[in-house]
A and B are shown apart, each in its own frame.
Chain A
Amino acid sequence: MGAADLYTPALLDHVQHPDHKCELDGASLSHEGVNPSCGDDLTIHVRLDDDGTIMEASWTGSGCAVSQASADMMADLLEGLTQGEARELCDLFGRMVRGEVSAEEAEDELDEASCLASISHMPARVKCAELAWRTLDEMLSGTTAPTTTEDGLAPEGGSAR
């Protein structure tokens, strides 16, 4: 288990031919998420209908293949979900990539994104897979500060020239 199961043709197809990598006209919400140590930097966009149901989702930004494919697979799943349902998916995905839920258990709800379960064996990469989902979850919870999967204080420093 590990990277050999991760870089599947399906994952790479999402990287090279993403379906949802675009700005979203009339986006109701947009939220940025970053992994400072990796340089992954994604913005998630959603358009909501009057009830608050997600009509469409997209993403923009750059990063490693895992963060990009994960964002694209996530965006695939969101159309027609209530915000509560979307946040439940984020929670399920988080538990899957931390190894608490198997790919098989998550497959019905996460569909293709369940292939990212093997990242639970690669601790340094979990944050790459999680970035889009945590960004979406924080956006829907009303957080305004950019999301990061690396919790820490802002650096201080002396003056520089």
Chain B
Amino acid sequence: MIEFPAHPGLSAAEAARIDENPYKMDFPLLAGNPELAFLDSAATSQRPASVIEAQAEFYRTLNANPLRGLYELSVKATDAIENARAAMARLIGAANPREIVFTRNATESLNLVAKTLGAQALGPGDEVVISILEHHSNLIPWQQACAESGATLVWLYPDAEGHFSEEEIEAKIGPAAKIVSVTQVSNVLGVEVPVARIAERAHAFDAYVVADGAQSVPHRPVDVRALGADLLAFSAHKALGPFGVGVLWGRLDVLEAMPPFLTGGEMIDAVTQEGAIWSPVPQKFEAGTQDAAGIATSKAGIDYLQAVGFEAIEARERALAELLMGELAELPYVTVFGPRDPGEHHGVVSFNLEGIHPHDVSSLLDTRNVAIRAGHHCAQPLLAWLGVESTNRASMAFYNDASDVRRLVEGIEFVWEVFHGSR
């Protein structure tokens, strides 16, 4: 059976003691590589042993093609998927597990919405509103939907720290808006977008609201009842789960009114030579054999996150960001992007060293076993708006500790020395 985490349920104050790390031992890759400072969790999280074991456990004990249900094993495999669906629904406060659609990743979830709801709702003269913070996966599908429908893409711009003003929201979201799709937390700046306020404005004009939760769901409590969005996309692999599993939550009436995305097996009730009757939601959107093991395993990731608890996660990630941003503020050649308050960063800190290309920084940090991302972070319009080609990005999770941050800061000082001689 699946092991439970060794250190669940620390209080926020206990978890904020970042000189201690009670979590690392649950993560085999981190425990096995004590010299590694893994600071790229916004790209993909590390996985606890319970998740790795759950994947093997599925293949050892439950493996059958789900949904056909004619024999015991297939029924168990189906149950494992439905348990995961229910866990995802509980995680985000969804009213009904049927509101959870499993996809391959958050990108596919967003494409599903753009290709179905977009095609249905958009026409010439209509507007799709997104923000300049968007990851390409919440941008290109809407560029495509606009090109196909004749709708116009409208951009929301924040201030330099990433905050959206009421004036901007009111100026950009108006009667022509049919779909408003925004990230909840930026994968570059870490800043949170006021989705609830944006949704309130959009709903006043009967627009649909889509939220990209890829960077929010793993790091803070998300409750779709408070979020205000009609649809929410996120992925399992950034939330301790396996690669290859994405989630699309949608209000049941919205999902039911949307046409299917991919078609074929597993998404029909009946087929004739002339046509087909779609299965009810969510199966209508789950064509073909899915990664049943991955979906079942994604529950183990959610179980671990919830055992740690979002109060502890937020307190710890805030403490890590405070340490990092405090140290970086001491280095005159470092520029940090986004909010000044570390508490607004959700563990994501983008920065540049004056005159040194981020790819040179990350390559040199790699020689010191410090793993960060450098580049445009799949958000090229945002970086162009920030006036840079690329940034360094350290992204922290609760399984990081103060030593990871200190090794990064020492690494940055080393990079500066390589280029400029000793301090």
The distance in angstroms between the C-alpha atoms of A128 and B144, with both chains bound, is: 31
* Cross-chain contact B155 with A4 (CB below 8 angstroms): no
Interface centre among B152, B153, B155, B359 (most CB of A within 10 A): B359
> For B359, what are the chain A residues with a Cβ–Cβ distance below 8 Å?
38, 64, 66, 124-125, 128
Tell me if B349 is interfacial: C-beta within 8 Å of chain A: no
Tell me if B135 is interfacial: C-beta within 8 Å of chain A: no
Interface residues of B in 390-423 (CB under 8 A from A): 390, 418-419
A65-B357, A159-B146, A160-B153 known; A12 and B418 CB under 8 Å?
yes
* Cross-chain contact B356 with A158 (CB below 8 angstroms): no
Interface centre among A2, A64, A122 (most CB of B within 10 A): A64
Interface residues of A in 68-117 (CB under 8 A from B): none
Tell me if B43 is interfacial: C-beta within 8 Å of chain A: no
* Cross-chain contact A158 with B143 (CB below 8 angstroms): yes
Tell me if B272 is interfacial: C-beta within 8 Å of chain A: no
> For A122, what are the chain B residues with a Cβ–Cβ distance below 8 Å?
363
User: 1/0 per residue A1-31: CB within 8 Å of B?
Assistant: 0111011000010011000000000000000
* Cross-chain contact A7 with B152 (CB below 8 angstroms): no
The distance in angstroms between the C-alpha atoms of A36 and B256, with both chains bound, is: 41
Q: B172's closest neighbor in chain A, by CB?
A: A161
* Cross-chain contact B146 with A158 (CB below 8 angstroms): yes
Tell me if A52 is interfacial: C-beta within 8 Å of chain B: no
Interface residues of B in 332-371 (CB under 8 A from A): 356-357, 359-360, 363-364, 366-367
* Cross-chain contact A2 with B366 (CB below 8 angstroms): yes
Tell me if B10 is interfacial: C-beta within 8 Å of chain A: no
Tell me if B147 is interfacial: C-beta within 8 Å of chain A: yes
* Cross-chain contact B360 with A66 (CB below 8 angstroms): yes
* Cross-chain contact A7 with B389 (CB below 8 angstroms): no
Interface residues of B in 133-173 (CB under 8 A from A): 140, 142-147, 151-155
What class of interface size applies to chain B in its complex with A? 20 to 34
> For B419, what are the chain A residues with a Cβ–Cβ distance below 8 Å?
12, 15-16, 65
The distance in angstroms between the C-alpha atoms of A65 and B418, with both chains bound, is: 12
User: 1/0 per residue A31-43: CB within 8 Å of B?
Assistant: 0000001110000
Tell me if B376 is interfacial: C-beta within 8 Å of chain A: yes
Tell me if B221 is interfacial: C-beta within 8 Å of chain A: no
Q: B148's closest neighbor in chain A, by CB?
A: A158
> For B366, what are the chain A residues with a Cβ–Cβ distance below 8 Å?
2-3
The number of inter-chain residue pairs (CB within 8 angstroms) is 72
A12-B418, A125-B359 known; A157 and B143 CB under 8 Å?
yes
* Cross-chain contact A156 with B363 (CB below 8 angstroms): no
* Cross-chain contact B152 with A159 (CB below 8 angstroms): yes
Q: How far is the CB of A65 from chain B (nearest CB, A)?
A: 5
Contact of A161 (CB < 8 Å), options: B152, B375, B389: B152
> For B376, what are the chain A residues with a Cβ–Cβ distance below 8 Å?
37, 39
* Cross-chain contact A39 with B390 (CB below 8 angstroms): yes
> For A16, what are the chain B residues with a Cβ–Cβ distance below 8 Å?
419
Q: How far is the CB of B337 from chain A (nearest CB, A)?
A: 16
* Cross-chain contact A65 with B146 (CB below 8 angstroms): no
Q: A64's closest neighbor in chain B, by CB?
A: B357
* Cross-chain contact A38 with B389 (CB below 8 angstroms): yes
The distance in angstroms between the C-alpha atoms of A151 and B282, with both chains bound, is: 39
The distance in angstroms between the C-alpha atoms of A74 and B147, with both chains bound, is: 43
Q: A65's closest neighbor in chain B, by CB?
A: B360
Tell me if A63 is interfacial: C-beta within 8 Å of chain B: yes
> For B152, what are the chain A residues with a Cβ–Cβ distance below 8 Å?
158-161
Q: A41's closest neighbor in chain B, by CB?
A: B389
Q: How far is the CB of B143 from chain A (nearest CB, A)?
A: 4
A38-B390, A160-B153 known; A6 and B146 CB under 8 Å?
no
4 additional contacts (CB under 8 A) given A39-B390, A64-B360: A38-B359, A66-B359, A158-B144, A158-B147
- 13 A-B interface contacts by CB (under 8 A): A3-B364, A3-B366, A3-B367, A7-B418, A12-B418, A38-B390, A39-B389, A66-B363, A125-B363, A156-B143, A158-B152, A160-B155, A161-B153
Give residues in A with beta carbon < 8 Å to B: 2-4, 6-7, 12, 15-16, 37-39, 63-66, 122, 124-125, 128, 156-161
